[in-house]
Structure formats: structure tokens, C-alpha cells
Amino acid sequence: MILTLALLVGLVFAWLLIAVIERFRLDLRFTQALLYVPFKLAYRIADNRIRIARSANTPVIYVISHQSRIEPALMLSLLPDDTLHILDEASARSPWLEPWRELGRTIAFNAEHVFVSRRLVRVLKGKGRLAVYLPDSVEPDVKSFRLFRAITRIAMQADARIVPIFVAGTRDLPMSLTPKEKAPRHWFPRLSVSVLEPMTIAELVARNPDMASNTNALFDRFAEARLYGTNLDRGLFLAMRDAADRVGPSHPIIEDVISGSLSYRKL
């Protein structure tokens, strides 16, 4: 009994100590740091670039790739506590997310009504911060692209900066929103938070004047965060090996009607 009690006291002390370290390292509120510790330890998160998001001048919109159920909890722990998080209905109602929702301001996401409300523009014009969670898709469907268009319109009306955020590795978690056949599950992958520098829509368009629309400029910037979420220093061989470890060596990588399929193992 005494040994069990001592072990529990030790665990609580370690939790509090790590929370204090994270609180000062990332300039979080203590309650944010306290609820961030389990993620930090379980997934060994590389989070240094979150400082870019926290120090971004207002008004600012954090555009987050929503790949799994833990992104809202992570962002509520890591982003400034005055950020208004626009959550999808599942995240807004999920019982296990309740402690994290208490860390900040949240509203339920409704694709038909939320983005046409002037409330969001008023929040931004009042030097506010918004966090929006967009579907994880390489090529968005019509509904998803409509959300990008709405965010672009809001950002332009409020002259807000855009900060894309991509958490590399969450796509493979058991809580992933991607079907298992497309993203094999892993319990404790190492996660990395990719954050790009703040830019207004006008600055994004100025980088490529030939861009089809302002919305396309936003989507391309959003896709850049995904690119920088990978380790660009790794060569082709190591990248292939990583993919084989992730999806399995027997997974087909190339297939045609003449020679059939070629797996990672055969390659």
C-alpha cells in the first residue's frame, strides 16, 4: 500500500514538474501545460514551431489540418487561450474533450451557417484569434473548398494573417479520421507540429500573381504546411523504408496491367 502510494505521488510530482517546464518553455498557462503533458510524453511531440503561432500578431486565423480527434485537444493546449476555436459537432460534444474545451473559447461548427456570420469578422477586427479545423484532403471536394473560400473572405474583410498548422503523424493514430485501409494505425507514433509564418491573403497572392483565385492561394499555403511536416533531409531510400514500416512491406507501391503489382519488399 505504501509503495503504491509512493508511486502515485511520484507520478503526480513528475507530471507537475513536466507541466511547469512546458509552461515556461512554450509560455503556456499552467492548466494548458498540465493537459498537454500526456500528449507530449505519449507522442514525443516536436513542438518548437508552435512559438510562431503563439507570437503571431493579431488579427490571425489558425488554419489547422483536422486529421484525427486529438487536433482540437492539442491546439486548445498549445494556442493562446484567447483563441476562439471553431469545432466540428463531434469535437464540440465529445465527453473526453471536455477538460480541453474548458481551456479556451469554443463554438460548434456548422458548415451552413457559421462562416456566413459576421461574428467571426468582428472577433478578428477586435484583434482576435480564430482556430478553424479543415478536412485533411490533398484535393478538397466542393464542400471543403467552400470552407476555404469562406475563410479567405473572412480573412480579407478583417485583414487577418493566416497561420497554417499541420500535425504530422496524427493520420496514423487509432483516432484518425482516415479509413484504416488508407492509413494503417499505430498507437504511439512520434508527432511533429508544422507551423508556417503568418501571411495575409494579399501577401499570399503576391507570391504568385498567376494564381487562379485568392482561395487557391490559401489552399496552396495550407498544403505547404503538410510538406514541411515531413523530414525533407531524408533521402529517397529512407523515405521508402519509412513508408514500408508504416503501411507494411507487402503493401503494393506500383501496379500496372502488364507486370502486375510491386510491393515495398520486392522493390
The mean predicted confidence, pLDDT, of the chain is 83
Q: Is the pLDDT reported for residue 157 higher than 70? A: yes
The pLDDT value given to residue 71: 93
Residue 198's pLDDT is what?
94
Q: At what angle do helices 30-43 and 71-78 cross, to 10 degrees?
A: 130
Q: Which residue has the higher pLDDT, 104 or 249?
A: 104
Structure confidence at residue 220 (pLDDT): 86
Q: Find the mean pLDDT for residues 39-63.
A: 92
Instruction: Choose which CATH entry (3.40.50.970, 3.40.1130.10, 1.10.287.4070, 2.60.40.10) describes domain 48-228.
Output: 3.40.1130.10
Mean pLDDT of 133-162: 83
160 secondary structure, DSSP code: -
**50-66 in b/e burial notation, b at 16+ Cβ within 10 A?**
beebbebebbbbbbbbb
The type of residue at 11 is L
Cell digits for 23?
509552461
Residue 15 is predicted with a pLDDT of: 87
pTM: 0.85
Domain boundaries, the chain: 48-228
* Distance in Å from the first CA to the final CA of the chain: 56
- 239 pLDDT band, cuts 50/70/90, is low
- 118, with CB counted inside 10 A (0-12, 13-18, 19+), is exposed
Residue 262: the pLDDT is: 67
